[in-house]
Copies of this chain bind each other. A is one copy, B any other.
Amino acid sequence: MTPPRGFPEAEFRDRTDRAQALMAKAGLSALLLTTEPEVRYYTGFLTRFWESPTRPWFVVIPASGAPIAVIPSIGAHLMGQTWLDDIRTWQAPDYDDDGIGLLAETLQEVTPPDARIGVADQMESHLRMPLADFQTLKQSLGARRITGDATITRRLRMVKSRAELAKITCAAQIADRAFDRVAEIARVGIPLARVFRDFQRLCLEGGADWVPYLAGASEAGGYGDVISPATEAPLAAGDVLMLDTGLVWDGYFCDFDRNFSLGAPSAAVTEGHGRLIEATQAGFQAAKPGARICELFHAMTDIVNPGGAGSDAGRLGHGVGMQLTEWPSIIAADKTVLAEGMVLTLEPGVTLPDGKIMVHEENIVIEAQGARFLSSPQDREIRVI
């Protein structure tokens, strides 16, 4: 069943309230947001226009009250449909002052003269504005200081609301259906590039709003990496075809892959796939509220990489939601305590005897009693086309 689009205003108020409580603890008088997921998380501003690098977009979360948008006028009409009332605009691009004067004024208006203003500065973040403009902004702020955001937005986003979970679930179900139809589009002799195009078509036919991410490969007995675009090389008997998609429904991603053997799989592929599923199940069993992310890592790596020194992938899964990949990473160093509402991918990889790799991925949500699959968990046996 397709959930409703958007969120009730109460959800945005709640996110903002929780951020403001954490800001008070961290001694921050405001947050300055510059990236798509940050802006959307607090405002609901949903557009693919971020694909254009031309215009910066700013949202200020003051110590109390609703967020303030400081944005190019081209976005005023759409931002006007969100819960925000205070929308300040300039005609961008402006080669003399591309919003920095207006942003500085706004920050000065809503913060005390000795304010600390937080921007995301830790892993998985970046500042989406020109560096030279950031220098100008800092100079305009006088005694006010721009500092880290104490990972406030990252921490809030890690736990999904029911409405967010419904959207991710919808995305995962669309991907499940598309994977179930792969035999319609993939056969020996068809170029991989065509399979990629057709798989995206299946996702759209199944209800995806768009398909921001698709990677994969089709090579004899495994593949070399999991991030490659398609080539024109035709599928061949004995190939392992892997498709990994991050499709979006109403701004929320799923992220999982499926492996297919073109014809009967080799013993190495059969064994490898079995080990991937076993590792995924071990990660799933370990994923309970109160457990730590590193425990999921160890449960899986003991199976796919026993005694090993880690893999090129660098991790065995991650958060997923408004972005294809989100905090945390399933690595030995991650001590995050699992809590109800977290959505994760479990993504073990194996290296086969000949050096080829295989990767499997599922999506789960953490509930009171343990994990629940959002994608349809796969059998030990690799799918055969």
Q: Nearest Cβ distance between residue A93 and chain B, in whole angstroms?
A: 5
**Residues of chain B with a CB closer than 8 A to A211's CB:** 200, 210-211
Measured in the bound complex, the distance between the Cα atoms of B204 and A211 in whole Å is 11
Q: Nearest Cβ distance between residue A234 and chain B, in whole angstroms?
A: 15
- B53 touching A91, Cβ below 8 Å: no
Measured in the bound complex, the distance between the Cα atoms of B148 and A49 in whole Å is 26
A329 touches B (CB below 8 Å): yes
- A123 touching B93, Cβ below 8 Å: yes
**Residues of chain B with a CB closer than 8 A to A51's CB:** 212-213, 246, 323-324
Measured in the bound complex, the distance between the Cα atoms of B313 and A196 in whole Å is 34
Q: Enumerate A52-89 residues with CB–CB distance to B below 8 Å.
A: 52-55, 72-78, 89
Q: Nearest Cβ distance between residue A296 and chain B, in whole angstroms?
A: 15
Q: Nearest Cβ distance between residue A117 and chain B, in whole angstroms?
A: 13
- A47 touching B215, Cβ below 8 Å: yes
A5 touches B (CB below 8 Å): yes
Measured in the bound complex, the distance between the Cα atoms of B52 and A124 in whole Å is 9
- B74 touching A98, Cβ below 8 Å: no
- A132 touching B127, Cβ below 8 Å: no
Measured in the bound complex, the distance between the Cα atoms of B224 and A91 in whole Å is 16
Interface size class of A (residues with CB under 8 A): 35 or more
Measured in the bound complex, the distance between the Cα atoms of B123 and A127 in whole Å is 13
A92 touches B (CB below 8 Å): yes
- B126 touching A312, Cβ below 8 Å: no
Measured in the bound complex, the distance between the Cα atoms of B46 and A229 in whole Å is 7
Measured in the bound complex, the distance between the Cα atoms of B121 and A92 in whole Å is 17
- A315 touching B93, Cβ below 8 Å: yes
Measured in the bound complex, the distance between the Cα atoms of B93 and A334 in whole Å is 10
Measured in the bound complex, the distance between the Cα atoms of B75 and A190 in whole Å is 26
**Residues of chain B with a CB closer than 8 A to A5's CB:** 231-232
**Residues of chain B with a CB closer than 8 A to A145's CB:** none
**Residues of chain B with a CB closer than 8 A to A126's CB:** 53, 126-131
Q: Nearest Cβ distance between residue A256 and chain B, in whole angstroms?
A: 14
Q: Nearest Cβ distance between residue A198 and chain B, in whole angstroms?
A: 7
Nearest CB to that of A53 among chain B residues? Answer: B124
- A230 touching B214, Cβ below 8 Å: no
- B52 touching A325, Cβ below 8 Å: yes
- B209 touching A196, Cβ below 8 Å: yes
A291 touches B (CB below 8 Å): no
Can you offer 30 A-B residue contacts whose CB atoms are under 8 A? A5-B231, A47-B229, A48-B215, A49-B215, A49-B227, A51-B212, A51-B323, A52-B213, A53-B323, A54-B124, A73-B314, A74-B313, A77-B312, A91-B312, A93-B329, A119-B131, A122-B130, A122-B132, A124-B130, A127-B127, A132-B148, A197-B207, A197-B208, A198-B204, A200-B204, A200-B210, A200-B211, A201-B201, A210-B214, A211-B211
